[in-house]
Amino acid sequence: MNNVLLRVEDLHKRFGDLEVLTGVNMTLDRGHKTAIIGPSGCGKSTMLRCINFMETPSAGHVFLDGELFGEKKSGDKYVRMSEKELATQRAHVGMVFQGFYLWPHLSARDNVAIGPMKVRGMDKREANELADAMLEKVHMSHKVDEYPERLSGGQQQRVAIARALAQQPKLMLFDEPTSALDPELIGEVLNVIHELANEGRSMVLVTHEIRFAREVADRVIFLHDGIVVEEGPPDRVIDNPEHERLRGFLRQIVEH
């Protein structure tokens, strides 16, 4: 059986005149974790958002589990899927944002349960049980009835992770999940992500936490000026970088 879960092929993304991605390739095997690092504005978020078609790539293709993602082939042309078809595919990809984006009118449990209910048509009791189980995974069982405004940033992000887990996704995308957090709250979120990684989940993780990337990821991609400048296992990319730009980037991060 083919072990490739995600394949990103020659991805380009342009915003008007600004070329953000100019031909990015990556492959993620099932159960593997790739960390994307790179300076601010180099297109890390854009790349992640193109993977689940939150942004439509200007060129290139994404394949999830062997299937073309977000597009359909008609003849030899590729056309974007309808929003409905796209939603069905996105349900297989969990996404965790830098800004959490919990829905403030719903309790922690409802934030997690509403997706399974509305997207998969699960009944309320079953969805609540699933939500409680996912909240337990992120160590938030004591706050299931709390509303987002009454949770700390770290707690909100953990609920957001539970919300993505409830999709029972094939792939998890994390976009700088700890960048918006106070330093003392970063640990609890990284711990949760670490535990998920140990369960053998497949993930793509954009992060500035280099030490964390080295612990969790089996592959690191250094993105710069819209292309992959260097990639490989963390002990090579992080400990023995080849490119001067990557060395400069790592030095800068260590100094902070």
Partner 1 sequence: MGAFFQQLIDLGGPLLLGAGTTVAITLASLLVAIVLGLLLALIRLLGITPLNWIIAAYVEVFRNTPVLAQVFIIYFSLPYLGLSIDPFPAAVIGLGLNGGAVLCEIFRAGLNAIHHGQREAALAVGMTPWMSLRYIMLPQTWRITLPPLGNYAIALLKDTAVVSAIAAPEIMFWARNLVTSTFQTTFVYILAALLYFCLSFPLARLVERFERRQRAWQ
The answer to whether 159 and 138 have CB atoms below 8 angstroms apart is: yes
* Parallel, antiparallel or unpaired: strands 93-96 and 171-175: parallel
97 counts as binding partner 1 under rule CB under 8 A: yes
Number of other residues whose CB lies within 10 A of the CB of residue 184: 9
Exactly one of 1, 16, 84, 121 binds partner 1 (CB under 8 A); which one? Answer: 84
Q: How far is the CB of 166 from partner 1 (least distance, A)?
A: 8
Cα distance between residue 63 and residue 73, in whole Å: 13
Footprint on this chain of Mg ion (rule: CB under 5 A): 45
Distance between start and end Cα atoms, the chain: 44
Cα 78–Cα 82–Cα 84 angle in degrees, nearest 5: 140
47 binding partner 1? (CB under 8 A) = no
Query: Which residue of 67, 83, 184, 244 would you call a contact of partner 1, by CB under 8 A?
Result: 83
Q: Least distance from C-beta 147 to partner 1, angstroms? A: 9
Q: How far is the CB of 228 from ligand ATP (least distance, A)?
A: 13
Interaction between residue 160 and partner 1 (CB under 8 A): yes
| In the complex, least distance from residue 97 CB atom to ligand ATP, rounded to whole angstroms | 11
Helix then strand then coil, in percent of the chain rounded to 5, is 40, 25, 35
Q: Which residues does residue 12 pair with via DSSP β-bridges, in sequence order? A: 22, 59
Partner touching 17 among partner 1, Mg ion, ligand ATP, none, CB below 5 to 8 Å by kind: none
Residues that bind ligand ATP (CB under 6 A): 15, 18, 20, 38, 40-46
97 binds, among ligand ATP, partner 1, Mg ion, none (CB under 5 to 8 A by kind): partner 1
Provide the residue type at 188 as one letter. E
